[in-house]
Amino acid sequence: MFVAMPPESARFHESNLWATPIRDLGLTIEGTPLQPIVEEFEEELRRVGLTRVHPRFYLSTEWGVPFESVAIAIPFYLARPDLTALHVERTGLVEGFDRADILRYLRHEMGHVVNYAYRLYDQEEWVKQFGSITQPYSEEYRPEPFSRRYVRHLPGWYAQKHPDEDWAETFAVWMTPGLDWRNEYSGWPVAAAKLAYCGRVLAVLRERDPVVTYVDLDEDVAEIEYSLGHYYRDDPIGLGEAPPGLDGAIRAIFEDLGAAGEIPEEPLAPAGTLIRRLEPDLLANVFRWTGHFPERTRVLLRYLADRAEHLRQGYVPRREGAAIVAVTTLVTGLAMNHVQRGSYLP
């Protein structure tokens, strides 16, 4: 989900704030829109009976829970609307775009807290259900969309990334208020078995004190010496070698939606402009349903827009709906190829 950037965000580039160390921005959870959301989440924990483990919430560079810790890191840019808008401008994606989404991430991170606080990952049945936590952890992973072995919670089929994430996603689904997971996953026997295991474990843990209570504030916002300018420095990620054949795909889309060689009754709308306009929604939705990272989709879309402009492609405005469907289908197909094969074209 994406939010429009207010004019104030541009002022960061024209002020000392862009070069100010993040630790000097005075960011806290208290007294910000985050405070009532955290308090609501703490009430959720009480309702499910998790009262003996007490997570410490703090601001950092991204969501996370340091291993063997009960501290939950929340992205610092969620503490102020202008920082959130700046993050949208620089990255296109906000993990925690509103109250409901922040709660979604908090439930996931609480899964890690419970896992570490009680060292569930050492238990034989946990390993049987989710796998060994010692498996290599890589940021790059290739999910199998709609696999019935995993729950759906965070976008990008995140449960498939690692056993630790599989548990955290399962826990998050289990504790989501109002969600009838038994009905939701009735046709997904493996995922349902993981949820049932989660319920059994939590019924026992309600009566036990945690084994681990250590708090590790990794990259605490109060200690980050580098600036916003450094944090948002240009990402080196790129498209790699431009895949051959995409010019033909672009032509195929817009030749079908143009005047087919005839003199158009109305001026053609530029295809490149449309592709750029679709960027915000496609970043979020392509990631949610394919696992193709938003930063990669952003580069791909801008490459396609540049090529469409170079090829002078356009479409009849009254057929814009068909153009949107065609572009979305093309980008989704390319994204799926990249996730499954590691390249956009075989």
- Domain spans of the chain? 7-228, 246-341
**pTM metric for this prediction:** 0.89
Indicate left, alpha or beta for 32 from its phi (over 0: left) and psi (-120 to 50: alpha).
beta
> Which helix (H) or strand (E) segment is 235 a member of?
none
**Position 255 pLDDT exceeds 60:** yes
* Residue 58 CA neighbour count, 13 Å, CB half: 22
CA angle 114, 199, 176 (to 5 degrees): 75
Nearest Cα neighbor of 27 from 67, 69, 86, 68 is 86
Confidence of residue 258 (pLDDT cuts 50, 70, 90): confident
Say if residues 69 and 115 touch (Cβ distance below 8 Å).
Answer: no
Instruction: Render pLDDT for 192-212 as a digit per residue (tens, 0 to 9).
Output: 999 999 999 999 999 999 999
For residue range 80-94, list pLDDT tens digits in order: 999 999 998 888 889
Tell me the pLDDT of the chain averaged across its residues. Answer: 91
Quote the pLDDT of residue 266.
76
Cβ atoms of residues 84 and 94 within 8 Å: yes
Question: Which conformational region is residue 33 in: left (phi greater than 0), alpha (psi within -120 to 50 degrees), or beta?
Answer: alpha
Give the CA angle between residues 159, 165, 168 to the nearest 5°.
100
Lowest mean pLDDT among 51-65, 101-115, 135-149: 135-149
* Residues 205/126, Cβ–Cβ less than 8 Å: no
- Check whether 271 has a pLDDT greater than 80: yes
Q: Which residues pair with 57 in a beta bridge?
A: 72
Of 160 and 260, which is predicted with more confidence? Answer: 160
